[in-house]
Structures are given as structure tokens and as C-alpha cells.
């Protein structure tokens, strides 16, 4: 500071509301990443369970007539988790 300039603390720092908003955006981005990861793990595990039960049915190692209901259940839960994870990852500003 020279030439007779005074230090103005109000103008030298951004407003507090802007810092808070930036922090909230970072927290939401982190939570989206966590939700995406959890949903993808759930989708992967449900897919593996559905595939395992399907293989057991096809190889005649599982003869329970309700086993197909388990396959459908795991497939639906895995699909819904995958959709929820993908929508959590998409932030609306880009189409990736």
C-alpha cells in the first residue's frame, strides 16, 4: 500500500455469504460422490447376486420355484441403485 491508499478490510475479503455458499457447493459435491460410490457398490453386489442365483437355477442346483423372484428382486434393486447413482453424479451443468 502506497501512495496514500488506506487498507479497507471490508473490500479486501469476499463477503461471508460467498464463502459459505462455496463451502456448501463443495460439501454437496462430496456427498454426491459418496452417494454415487455407494449406489454403484449396491448395483454391483445385486448384479452378482442375481447372476449367481441365475447360474444356480440353470445348473439345476437350485430348484426352489421362488428363486426367480429373487433374481427379479436383485435385478430391480440393482437397476434402481444404478439409476440413483448416475443421477447423483449428474450435476445438471454437463452431460457426461
Q: Where are the domains of the chain?
A: 34-91
Give the whole-angstrom CA distance, residue 1 versus residue 4: 8
Considering Cα of 55, then 57, then 60, then 62, what sign does the dihedral take? positive
pTM of the model: 0.72
At 17 the pLDDT is 60
What does the mean pLDDT of the chain come to? 84
User: In this model, does residue 80 exceed pLDDT 80?
Assistant: yes
Q: Using CB atoms within 10 A of its CB, is residue 53 exposed (0-12), middle (13-18) or buried (19+)? A: buried
At 95 the pLDDT is 45
User: In this model, does residue 96 exceed pLDDT 50?
Assistant: no
Amino acid at each position: 500500500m502506497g501512495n496514500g491508499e488506506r487498507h479497507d478490510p471490508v473490500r479486501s475479503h469476499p463477503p461471508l455469504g460467498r464463502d459459505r455458499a462455496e463451502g456448501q457447493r463443495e460439501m454437496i459435491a462430496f456427498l454426491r460422490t459418496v452417494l454415487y460410490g455407494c449406489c454403484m457398490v449396491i448395483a454391483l453386489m445385486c448384479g452378482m447376486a442375481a447372476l449367481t442365483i441365475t447360474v444356480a437355477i440353470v445348473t439345476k442346483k437350485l430348484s426352489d420355484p421362488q428363486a426367480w423372484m429373487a433374481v427379479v428382486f436383485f435385478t430391480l434393486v440393482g437397476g434402481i441403485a444404478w439409476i440413483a447413482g448416475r443421477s447423483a453424479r449428474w450435476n445438471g451443468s454437463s452431460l457426461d
